[in-house]
Amino acid sequence: MNMILLGPPGAGKGTQAVNIVEKYDVPHISTGDIFRENIKNGTELGKKAQEYMNRGELVPDELVCEIATDRLSREDCAEGFLLDGFPRTVFQAEKLDEFLTANGKKVDAVINLEVEKEELITRLTGRRVCRKCGASFHVVNIPPKTEGVCDYCGGELYQRDDDTVETAENRISVYDTQTKPLVDYYTKAGCIVNIDGATGLENVFADIVTALGEK
């Protein structure tokens, strides 16, 4: 099954991606991972991407599409895949469709995790990290036994600069502007699966499995 995972920051995509690839035995293709792989291995695509990044510029859509479709061309994607972080724009979605059609394939399901903004901000701003060992906690979901103290090493827990309300709101705003149009795109295509991402990890995954069973 060829799947795409959508959802705003804090929606729980990372957790659900692990569950999905395990159950459906498909590779998890994360944009960040394939960018790092290409740059590390010094591929031509990686070198091109690095040039833009060194200048502090966004990697153009065309190059993002090239890197993503190059990864999808590998043998391990022959029986399906889970895309995470690609496509991010309608242009990228159109290029993906062109690539898949040319190879006799299509997007089977787009899993869209829906979570209210207030809940997303609570999730994104609640993380606390240990200064000593790097362990991660959450003031609501995974609270430490003693407030401000790491369960594992007794180190001080702190809030990272990128976990503030202002940063969280900005990340959500960027998602709404750039990526939300994909929901309309895939709704029209008839392959979107809208999942309530606020019902608890196990319930969310159960809902995903049920919805995919109908595809």
Helices 181-189, 90-102: crossing angle, 10 deg rounding? 30
Q: Is 24 helix (H, G, I), strand (E, B) or coil?
A: helix
Catalytic, out of 48, 88, 105, 117: 88
Q: Look at strands 192-196 and 109-114 and give their pairing.
A: parallel
- Whether 128 is a known active-site residue: answer no
Catalytic, out of 48, 105, 117, 171: 171
- Whether 127 is a known active-site residue: answer yes
**Count of residues in the chain:** 215
Q: Quick one: residue 188, left, alpha or beta (phi over 0 = left, psi -120 to 50 = alpha)?
A: alpha
Catalytic, out of 13, 71, 123, 128: 13
List beta partners, residue 149: 146, 156
Catalytic, out of 106, 160, 180, 215: 160
- Whether 13 is a known active-site residue: answer yes
Q: Is 148 helix (H, G, I), strand (E, B) or coil?
A: coil
- Whether 132 is a known active-site residue: answer no
Catalytic, out of 71, 95, 127, 128: 127
Enzyme catalytic residues: 13, 88, 127, 160, 171
